[in-house]
């Protein structure tokens, strides 16, 4: 599985967009980019995933560069409840996929 | 939708005692995962099941750990005997098991285990 690199921490003002970067320069053609987050004392929560096209759902947008070596998760209007650790995971989306390697993630703090 | 249900939410026990953690996956989900989270090692996959059958238990730390899934709506993770180093938060997660959807996992609230 391709490794990912994320900044350890970021701050964002409430109401502003939070842009969380992830580098995955060794990603292979069949690997997707997944984003999860973990709010303190809760289980991880799936956010979004993508292959090469930009994706958007009710929680966030995912922008993947054309060469697929990096991506950015965008929370368009961050709220205090978005304070969490965000994990970028690269994984083949195939049957039998098992171990989601969560790494250390980015700790996002949304500031009032 | 009740989500993934885990019990107990907190467990405090003494070294050497048997501990059983329980999980009810989301109805209709065919894949179930057990994870452990500690400050030192982060989130680790212990074992996962597909259609009630254990597929990969390579993450189970040692023979003291065992997991079962007797039916599609229930799984247990047992530690016998427990040791202080087993103290962690244990998460259960499930996914639909549909083709190409294994990585979209839904996690339970976790069981915080403390072994004294």
> What integer is the mean pLDDT of A76-95?
87
How confident is the model at residue B100, as a pLDDT? 55
* Cis peptide leading into residue B111 (ω within 30°): no
- Which residues 5-34 of B have a C-beta within 8 angstroms of A? 33
Q: Per-residue pLDDT tens for A13-69?
A: 999 999 999 999 999 888 889 999 999 989 999 999 999 989 999 999 999 999 999
Question: Which of A41, A93, A100 is opposite residue B105, by nearest beta carbon?
Answer: A100
B48 contacts A98? CB cut-off 8 A: yes
Asked whether A2 and A90 are in contact (CB, 8 A), the reply is: yes
A95 or A71, which is more confident?
A: A71
CA nearest to B111, candidates B3, B12, B1: B12
Cα separation, A98 vs A94, in Å, equals 9
pLDDT over threshold 50, residue A95: no
How confident is the model at residue A97, as a pLDDT? 47
User: Does B54 lie at the interface with A, CB-CB under 8 angstroms?
Assistant: no
Q: What does DSSP assign to residue B21?
A: E
Q: Per-residue pLDDT tens for B39-88?
A: 888 888 899 898 999 988 888 988 999 999 999 999 999 999 999 999 99
Cα separation, A1 vs B109, in Å, equals 27
Question: Which of A32, A45, A100 is opposite residue B45, by nearest beta carbon?
Answer: A100
B107 contacts A45? CB cut-off 8 A: yes
pLDDT over threshold 60, residue B1: yes
Asked whether B110 and B88 are in contact (CB, 8 A), the reply is: no
Return all residues near A20 (Cβ < 8 A) that are at least 6 apart. A6, A10, A35, A72, A73, A74, A75, A86, A88, A106, A108
Q: How far, in Å, are A34, A38, B102 from residue B95 at the CA level?
A: 14, 17, 6
How confident is the model at residue A94, as a pLDDT? 56
Which of B41, B45, B101, B102 is the best substitution to test chain A (most A C-beta atoms within 10 A)?
B102
Torsion angle, CA of A63/A67/A68/A74, rounded to 10 degrees?
-20
Give the number of other CB atoms < 10 A from CB of residue B76.
15
Burial (0-12, 13-18, 19+ Cβ within 10 Å), B75:
buried
B chain contacts of residue A102, beta-carbon cutoff 8 Å: 42-43
Asked whether B103 and B95 are in contact (CB, 8 A), the reply is: yes
Cα separation, B105 vs B46, in Å, equals 15
3-state secondary structure of B86: helix
A chain contacts of residue B48, beta-carbon cutoff 8 Å: 98
A96 contacts B102? CB cut-off 8 A: yes
Asked whether B56 and B71 are in contact (CB, 8 A), the reply is: no
Give the chain B residue nearest A104 (alpha carbons).
B42
Q: Per-residue pLDDT tens for B91-115?
A: 999 988 665 555 788 999 999 999 9
Distance in Å, alpha carbon of B46 to nearest chain A alpha carbon: 9
């Amino acid at each position: 599985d391709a490794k990912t690199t994320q900044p350890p921490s970021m701050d964002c003002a409430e109401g502003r967009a939070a842009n969380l970067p992830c580098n995955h320069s060794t990603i292979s053609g069949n690997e997707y980019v997944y984003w999860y987050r973990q709010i303190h004392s809760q289980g991880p929560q799936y956010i979004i995933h993508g292959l090469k096209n930009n994706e958007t759902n009710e929680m966030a947008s995912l922008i993947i560069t054309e060469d697929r070596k990096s991506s950015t998760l965008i929370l368009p209007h961050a709220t205090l409840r978005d304070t969490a650790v965000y994990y970028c995971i690269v994984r083949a989306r195939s049957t039998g996929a098992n171990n989601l390697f969560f790494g250390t993630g980015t700790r996002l703090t949304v500031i009032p | 939708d009740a989500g993934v249900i885990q019990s107990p939410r907190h467990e405090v026990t003494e070294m050497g005692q048997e501990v059983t953690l329980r999980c009810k996956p989301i109805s209709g989900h065919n894949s179930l995962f057990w994870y452990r989270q500690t400050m030192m090692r982060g989130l680790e996959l212990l074992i996962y099941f597909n259609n009630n059958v254990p597929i990969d238990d390579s993450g189970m730390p040692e023979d003291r750990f065992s997991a079962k899934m007797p039916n599609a709506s229930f799984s247990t993770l047992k530690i016998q005997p427990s040791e202080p180093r087993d103290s962690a938060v244990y998460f259960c997660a499930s996914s639909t098991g549909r083709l190409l959807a294994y990585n979209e996992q839904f996690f339970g609230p976790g069981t915080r285990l403390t072994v004294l």
